[in-house]
Amino acid sequence: MVVLPYVQGVTERVSRVMKNYNISTAMKPHNTLRKQLVHPKDKRDPNNTTDAVYKIPCMNCELSYIGETGRKFGTRLEEHKSEAEKVSKTVTTRAGRKESLTTTHKSAITDHVVDKNHVIGWGEAEVIGTEQNRYTHWIKEAIEIRKRRGTTMNRDEGQYQLSHILMSS
């Protein structure tokens, strides 16, 4: 006896072929109502995710920021957001703007906002990976930055310095 997942048009043919070899078949539904309706686990709020590698996109260009945090993602996102908003609100005169352009801020996101006068997509920020081991999530961050070379606003290649032999393509 063989149990086959039911696929319309295919399972009937396979069943007929197996019948020629004296193999009985049973058909089991592949897509059930239970699978469609019941989801026993609640979805986690990404803002409560810790030990995360994350991506924050710019709304005006293709650049994005890749970062990592051991704390809650939502907390780190708010820190980036408040610094960028604080700096962008204070630059009002030409002299103030000129001074701000020569200043290196805490975050590369803030530098991007000041230099390019772009809007950051805070609502589109997302966790792209998690890892509880600190060194492993530093490596994940470095890999993500290296994979997106040329499309990140990061100033460096992350906490962990990957060998340039790795991912050299």
* 60 and 83 housed in the same domain: yes
Task: Confirm whether 167 is domain-assigned.
Answer: no
* 69 and 132 housed in the same domain: yes
pLDDT 10s digits, 106-118: 888 988 888 888 8
Which residue matches tokens 């050299």? 168
Predicted confidence (pLDDT) at residue 156 exceeds the cutoff of 60 = yes
Task: Confirm whether 153 is domain-assigned.
Answer: no
* 26 and 63 housed in the same domain: no
pLDDT, position 36 = 79
SS3 128: strand
Predicted confidence (pLDDT) at residue 67 exceeds the cutoff of 90 = yes
Q: Strands 126-130, 25-29: parallel, antiparallel or unpaired by DSSP?
A: unpaired
Which residue matches tokens 């002299």? 95
pLDDT 10s digits, 141-154: 888 888 888 899 99
Task: Confirm whether 123 is domain-assigned.
Answer: yes
pLDDT, position 18 = 92
* 25 and 62 housed in the same domain: no
Task: Confirm whether 74 is domain-assigned.
Answer: yes
pLDDT, position 169 = 47
User: Which residues constitute the domain of residue 106?
Assistant: 46-147
The three-point CA angle 93-94-100 to 5° equals: 90
Lowest mean pLDDT among 62-66, 91-95, 132-136: 91-95
Predicted confidence (pLDDT) at residue 97 exceeds the cutoff of 70 = no
* 14 and 81 housed in the same domain: no
* 25 and 52 housed in the same domain: no
Task: Confirm whether 131 is domain-assigned.
Answer: yes
Average confidence score pLDDT of the chain: 85
Phi, psi of 45 (to 5 degrees): -75, 120
* 76 and 102 housed in the same domain: yes
* 104 and 57 housed in the same domain: yes
Task: Confirm whether 41 is domain-assigned.
Answer: no
Task: Confirm whether 64 is domain-assigned.
Answer: yes
Helices (H), the chain: 11-20, 33-37, 73-90, 94-102, 108-116, 134-147
* 23 and 54 housed in the same domain: no
pLDDT, position 88 = 74
Average pLDDT estimate for 20-37 = 86
Lowest mean pLDDT among 23-37, 46-60, 101-115, 130-144: 101-115
* 131 and 83 housed in the same domain: yes
Average pLDDT estimate for 100-110 = 75
- The total domain count for the chain is 2
Task: Confirm whether 135 is domain-assigned.
Answer: yes
Predicted confidence (pLDDT) at residue 9 exceeds the cutoff of 70 = yes
* 99 and 58 housed in the same domain: yes
* 69 and 7 housed in the same domain: no
